[in-house]
Amino acid sequence: MEEVVSNGSTNRADLAKKKLDSTYFKKGIKVGIYSGVTYGLYTAFVTTATTYGVWAGWYGEKSPLSAMAVAFILGTLATGINDLLSAFWAIVNALIKGKFEDFVKTVKTKPGLIMIFAAIVGAPIAGVAYVLAIVAGGPVVIPIAGLNVSIGAILGRVIFKQKLSPRMIFGILICFIASAIIGVSGLSGEIKPGMILGMIMAFIAAFGWGLEGTIAGFGTAMIDSEIGIAIRQTTSTIFNFLIVLPILGIIEGSGVSLIASLTTTALTDKTVLIFLISGLFTFLTFNTWYKGNSMCGTALGMALNGTYAFFGPFFCWIILGVILKNPGYELAPTTWFASLLMAFGIFIMSVNPLDYIKGGNK
């Protein structure tokens, strides 16, 4: 009799645990989708910031800057300012929630050092490439950056010998087909002169984020997501302003003086308020990306975050095209189709649709 009661209690406990796990998993999916939406909003606002104010003059036909500065320094500066303000939001959040001391301690640990290395790959390198991509090629190149999930899976196979199932290979193939469609479709109007550069930079961003996701897997599993994003954005800010920008200034020939002048002007321009908004969404998207990964698995978490391949062009069109009435942000129907195809490929690669319909994940 006691054994029957014991078995009954065990079964109820198992059912309760499965229900709790299912609820936690479904919440993780919502968090992951939210990360994709906020990444799309970050993209739209950082693009808006570099379209107005002093940036409009710098990027204009009568720009006083050299071709080198326009092509590379401005994008790096925009990324640095965005990540500086994102780090501000992350640290304020840590202070409010009493996590700042943990943030300082975590930096010195092995997972913290892994996060710093991943941040250097994914923030200054991929982040700069992403901003350069959307400035040079427009929102049409954003879905190409969404290849980071596919590249992450391939790098995981190469570096950590992780298995690639036929379903994952099929999803990767879909993503690359979508990128090919984007590559030949262009905007519905005149194709921007920097389209090719934008596509190349978008692919570099995809590679950097794919590598970041692969490297940071160990670190983020042991770090609170809000501490992880604080480390990431602080690292990016320091690396951009103290290393990347000075090097670019020296290569350009104007040295640090040009970087100091541009930085001061940008930080005192009214567009810094738009960067403050883009920095907030950057903090939110990476925080929820890390959190979503821990709740529903890294593969599905990256897939859900990868829906920015759709939300990025969508919010750029809404904010810059519809609300602010800037021409050239309308996307061709084939590009919309490719963006949705990219999101579908990411989903197929990361989760078995049959298992997902049944309420599970494989």
**Where does the pLDDT of residue 351 fall: very low under 50, low under 70, confident under 90, or very high at 90 and above?**
low
- 245 falls within a domain: yes
Q: pTM (2 decimals)?
A: 0.78
- 206 falls within a domain: yes
Q: Are 69 and 132 in contact (CB under 8 A)?
A: no
Kindly state the tokens that stand for 20.
Answer: 């709790």
- Give the residue carrying structure tokens 């997972």: 111
Pick the range with the lowest mean pLDDT from 1-15, 107-121, 328-342.
1-15
- 23 falls within a domain: no
Q: Which residue range(s) make up the domain with 78?
A: 67-358
In this predicted structure, what is the pLDDT of residue 188? Answer: 47
**Where does the pLDDT of residue 96 fall: very low under 50, low under 70, confident under 90, or very high at 90 and above?**
very high
In this predicted structure, what is the pLDDT of residue 121? Answer: 80
| H-state helical runs in 186-271 | 195-220, 225-239, 245-252, 255-268
- 37 falls within a domain: no
Kind and range of the H or E element at 284?
A: helix 272-296
Pick the range with the lowest mean pLDDT from 84-88, 295-299, 357-361.
357-361
Computed over every residue of the chain, the mean pLDDT equals 81
With pLDDT > 90 as the criterion, what percentage of the chain qualifies? 31
Q: Which residues contact 245 (CB under 8 A, 6 or more apart)?
A: 73, 76, 77, 80, 259, 263
Mean pLDDT of 63-88: 92
With pLDDT > 70 as the criterion, what percentage of the chain qualifies? 78
Provide the greatest CA pair distance for the chain.
Answer: 89
Q: Are 227 and 103 in contact (CB under 8 A)?
A: yes
State the burial class of residue 356 (Cβ atoms within 10 Å of its Cβ: 0-12, 13-18, 19+). Answer: middle
In this predicted structure, what is the pLDDT of residue 17? Answer: 54
In this predicted structure, what is the pLDDT of residue 221? Answer: 62
Residue 220 vs residue 44, higher pLDDT: 44
Whole-angstrom distance, CA of residue 267 vs CA of residue 64: 18
Q: How far is CA 263 from the centre of its chain?
A: 24
Residue 166 vs residue 152, higher pLDDT: 166
Q: Provide the domain count of the chain.
A: 1
- 311 falls within a domain: yes
- 123 falls within a domain: yes
- 27 falls within a domain: no
pLDDT in tens, 37-66: 999 999 999 999 999 999 999 998 889 999
- 283 falls within a domain: yes
Nearest to 307 by CA among 31, 46, 27: 31
